[in-house]
Amino acid sequence: MNILNNIKNVYFVGIGGIGMSALARYFNLQGMAVFGYDKTPSEITNALMEEGIKVQFEDDVSTLPLETQIKESTMVIYTPAIPKTNQILSWFISEGFQLLKRAEMLGEITKNTTCLAVAGTHGKTTTSAILAHLLMECDMPVTAFLGGILEGYNSNILYNGDSMMVVEADEFDRSFLQLSPSIACITSMDADHLDVYENASDFENTFIEFSKKVSNQKNLLYKKGLPLNGQTVSTDEEADFQAINIRIKNGSYVFDLKTPREKLNDLQFSLPGQHNLFNAVTALGMAILAGSPTNRLPKALQSFKGVNRRFSYKIKTDDQVLIDDYAHHPTEIDALYQAVTEMYPEKRKLIVFQPHLFSRTRDFASDFARSLSQFDEVILLEIYPAREEPISGITSEWLLNKIENKHKKLVSKEELFREMEASKCFVKIMAGAGDIGVEVNNVTKQIAYEI
């Protein structure tokens, strides 16, 4: 990569993000000196520091390591989530350092490789994680950058060579247009990020633009029904790559995979939910297009353990179940409800939901209310703002009033465990893309202590 000629140091502004930390780990594996800033310590930043990466938590230019202040040998990578008021990023810009957004760097790293890009409003992380695991188990020369911590690997980067790369093609900020995919999939095109896109039509057209970046349309897989050209994927109707003869045995899916060339029989997959089964079929299709030996794929799929915060069981006893999930869009909440109902059809279900972004809550309020109303009990936390400033009138209380469920409450984090403990629901789910993951760990510890 010419862009990295003479570069010895890489500095990440926002290194604790899931996508940024994967890139940081990649450069660390390449033998570069890696540094970064993030607002607060986390499990991710702790892990990075244990791996030898230097992380600072003060937004203070005077605390920058001396090595990173040498313009000619330092590359700066940042995420759009970093506010413009950040002093470190502002200093790098004013001093004329080489700067790239995370998506731009990902595009640079992958452009001369066989790039397998996973796109879609939902399912990117699970699909790319399954795909990466399949390729690793088939001993393919792959590096995978993942948007979640893969169970069994305890990492968001997998490395077994670098001629083939798996990436999540993120639609936020139109980032995926930076990629040059050899093989790609689009799992869904439900409107989202309407703070970035003009409207749903603009959102859809950008996905279509991304799809055309795949030069051979046979190497584009997409959910049947989307307005795209390529090969179709489905779990419930005729498609080029299709799960057929689906059944459940011992809490896992067993199915046959029909492809344009052959059929693989009796594949086993343990993640609950039809959406996850679809993700598995998509990943299998991409692995086949990438040249994986099909006779090794059934065993590889069976050994997939899942992704942290994607239908992750935190507690599973005869008395109660606690599930942690990243769902933050109405369609994802619907999929979560389908999955948990399929596994526990007769049990009462509580969802604790932390809305993510004021704009998303505003744009999809009616859909959120409908999705959440399916559960027997609903607890809302305050909206997690992430990169946004508050929007007048858009609050969790405003959303709560739209939910058609008698058993609903808005609670503080301090009250959360007591309210969850008081619920008689057998299944309790904590969902959202904000800092609710921290609360999940707190609640799990408190429940475990009581058990």
Per DSSP, helices labelled H in 304-382 are: 330-343, 358-363, 365-372
Maximum mean pLDDT: which of 192-196, 251-255, 413-417: 413-417
Write down the pTM of the prediction: 0.83
pLDDT of residue 1: 52
Lowest mean pLDDT among 149-163, 186-200, 207-221, 316-330: 186-200
Q: How confident is the model at residue 249 (pLDDT cuts 50, 70, 90)?
A: confident
Percent of the chain with pLDDT over 90: 75
Residue for token digits 């009796």?
A: 266
The contacts of residue 160 (CB under 8 Å, 6+ apart) are 135, 136, 139, 140, 141, 142, 143
Using pLDDT thresholds of 50, 70 and 90, give the confidence band for residue 152: confident
Is residue 105 scored above 70 in pLDDT?
A: yes
Residues 6 or more apart whose CB falls under 8 angstroms from that of 303 comprise 133, 137, 152
Residue 242: partners with Cβ closer than 8 Å, 6 or more residues away: 233, 234, 235, 257, 258, 281
pLDDT band for position 450 (cuts 50, 70, 90):
low
What the block records as the tokens of 345 is: 């059809």
The answer to whether the CB of 102 falls within 8 A of the CB of 156 is no
Q: What is the mean pLDDT of the chain?
A: 93
pLDDT: is 173 or 362 the higher one?
A: 362
Is the predicted pLDDT of residue 10 greater than 90, yes or no? yes
In eight-state DSSP terms, residue 411 is: -
pLDDT of residue 438: 87
Q: Please state, in angstroms and rounded to a whole number, the distance separating the CA atoms of residues 354 and 384.
A: 7
Residue range 424-434: mean pLDDT, rounded:
94
Range name among 220-229, 305-314, 334-343 with the lowest pLDDT average: 305-314
Instruction: Give yes or no for residue 451 having a pLDDT over 60.
Output: no
**Dihedral-angle region of residue 401 (phi above 0 means left; psi in -120 to 50 means alpha; beta otherwise):** alpha
Task: Give the integer Cα–Cα distance in Å for 11 and 28.
Answer: 11
| pLDDT digit string, tens, across residues 119-145 | 998 889 999 999 999 999 999 999 999
Question: Would you say 163 and 322 are in contact if contact means Cβ atoms under 8 Å apart?
Answer: no
Closest Cα partner for 166 from 206, 124, 207?
124
In this prediction, residue 237 carries a pLDDT of 95
Q: Which residues contact 390 (CB under 8 A, 6 or more apart)?
A: 358
Residue 208 pLDDT level (bands cut at 50, 70, 90): very high
What domains can be seen in the chain, in order of their start residue?
Answer: 7-102 (3.40.50.720), 111-302 (3.40.1190.10), 312-450 (3.90.190.20)
pLDDT at 66 over 90: yes
Where does the pLDDT of residue 172 fall: very low under 50, low under 70, confident under 90, or very high at 90 and above? confident
Q: How confident is the model at residue 185, as a pLDDT?
A: 98
Q: For position 15, what pLDDT does the model report?
A: 97
Q: Is the pLDDT of residue 192 over 60?
A: yes
- Token pair belonging to 183: 């093989």
Helices assigned H by DSSP within 118-240 = 124-137, 200-211
Distance CA 168, CA 289 (A): 17
